[in-house]
Amino acid sequence: MEPANKDLTALQAWAATESAAFAARVVGVVDAQTDSLRAELEETRAWNDALRSEVQETRERIEAVEIELSQVSAQFERTLDELRHEHASTIREQARSCITLPLDELLTVFNALERSTTLAEALTALFDGLGREFSRVALFAVRASRLEGVQQAGFEFEHDISKIAIPLASDSLLGRAVASGRIEGAMAGVATGSTGMPFGGEPGCAVALPISIQGAVVAVIYADDSDRIEFASTAPQALVKFAELLLMHAILVLFRISVEQRALRRELA
């Protein structure tokens, strides 16, 4: 019986040893897996923290952008309102200038005409006066069936205007003014016609003013508003009326000067 008990005891000891070894291996595997899971959990937490921080930064950037956009939008609206007010103010000033400026110019030219003592001075005052509101002005002397250039301002001629002669065509603006003895005007898109004069440009209006002395048309002045700055200039209708008023006053001055000169010649005779 003793040998059998020894074998049983040995078997039990072996079983206990194996059992303890197995348990140790199981504990080791569990500990390793636990450590791995703990590391993964820590990594996940760190990633979550980083992601949370990034999300927070993104939200802050979005809020900052929204605030900036709001400020820019508010600034844009303020600037737009200022531009609206400025534009409206400019339009009002322009509307007033269309009325007041020609009147101021008229008074200036009227005074210059009144100071004229010779026909040449009166024609010069009229020519310069038209140049105050019209961008291009040209004075022509009437010679039989043609016009001869005397003086110009604003034109870009290749030659001296005194070397230019224009046939008096009845269908031209200048020809009609000489034939009728009255101011002739044209609005928007004045054509060059058959005058042979390189008027060109794109005038909103043009006028031809006949200069009569002792009942005969001795000269004609052409004026237009080609190439002017539209926003800062007078309306075409006002320009025509400006020229008409100038001509009416100039005719009175020319008549007065011619009467004075005739009286002077009689006294000298």
Condensed to tens digits (0 to 9), the pLDDT of residues 215-253 reads: 889 999 999 988 765 544 567 778 888 888 889 889 989
Q: Is residue 166 part of a domain?
A: yes
Residues 15 and 96 in one domain: yes
pLDDT-based confidence at 28, cuts 50/70/90? confident
How much is the CA Rg of the chain, to the nearest whole Å? 50
Last residue of one domain, picked from the residues 101, 129, 156: 101
- For residue 115, report the phi and psi dihedrals to the nearest 5 degrees: -80, -10
Pair 158, 231 in one domain: yes
**Residues 170, 179, 143, 114: what is their CA dihedral angle, to the nearest 10 degrees?**
-140
Distance CA 173, CA 182 (A): 11
Q: Are 160 and 247 found together in one domain?
A: yes
Q: Do 89 and 120 belong to one domain?
A: no
SS3 205: strand
Q: Mark which of 59, 74, 101 sits at the end of a domain.
A: 101
Q: Which residues contact 130 (CB under 8 A, 6 or more apart)?
A: 137, 209, 221, 223, 243, 246
The predicted pLDDT at position 122 comes to 92
Residue 63 sits in the same domain as residue 7: yes
Q: Is residue 196 part of a domain?
A: yes
Whether residue 129 is found in the same domain as residue 164: yes
**Final residue of a domain: which of 101, 131, 147?**
101
Assigned domain for 169 exists = yes
79-83, 102-106, 126-130, 230-234: least confidently modelled range: 230-234
In a domain, residue 134? The reply is yes
Q: Is the dihedral of CA 145, 151, 155, 157 positive or negative?
A: positive
Q: pTM for this structure?
A: 0.59
Co-location of 129 and 53 in the same domain: no
Tokens encoding 35: 């450590």
| CATH number of the domain bearing residue 238 | 3.30.450.40
Does the residue 264 lie in any domain? yes
Do 135 and 166 share a domain, yes or no? yes
pLDDT band at residue 195 using 50, 70 and 90 as cut-offs: very low
According to the 3-state scheme, what is the secondary structure of 246-257? HHHHHHHHHHHH
The answer to whether the beta carbons of residues 222 and 174 sit under 8 Å apart is yes
Residue 157 dihedral angles phi and psi, to the nearest 5°: -80, 145
* Nearest alpha-carbon partner for 251 in 214, 223, 222, 206: 214
Whether 217 is in a domain gets the answer: yes
Instruction: Residue 35: give the domain boundaries.
Output: 1-101
Residue 210 tokens, joined: 């006949």
Residues 136 and 181 in one domain: yes
- The arithmetic mean of pLDDT across residues 174-184, rounded, is 90
Clarify whether residues 262 and 137 are in a common domain: yes
Q: How far is CA 42 from CA 32, 46, 215, in A?
A: 15, 6, 114
In the predicted structure, residue 113 carries a pLDDT above the cut 80: yes
Residue 110 domain flag:
no
Asked which of 72-76, 101-105, 189-193 is least confident by mean pLDDT, the reply is 189-193
pLDDT number for residue 90: 55
Does the pLDDT of residue 42 top 80, yes or no? yes
On whether residue 239 sits in a domain, the answer given is yes
Question: pLDDT category, 130, cuts 50, 70, 90?
Answer: very high
| Predicted confidence (pLDDT) at residue 121 exceeds the cutoff of 80 | yes
131 and 194 part of one domain: yes
Residue 140 pairs with which residues in a beta bridge?
149, 220
Q: What mean pLDDT is reported for the chain?
A: 79
Residue 264 shares a structural domain with residue 133? yes
What are the structure tokens assigned to 54, written together? 């990034």
The number of distinct structural domains making up the chain is 2
CA-CA distance, 143 to 146, in Å (whole number)?
5
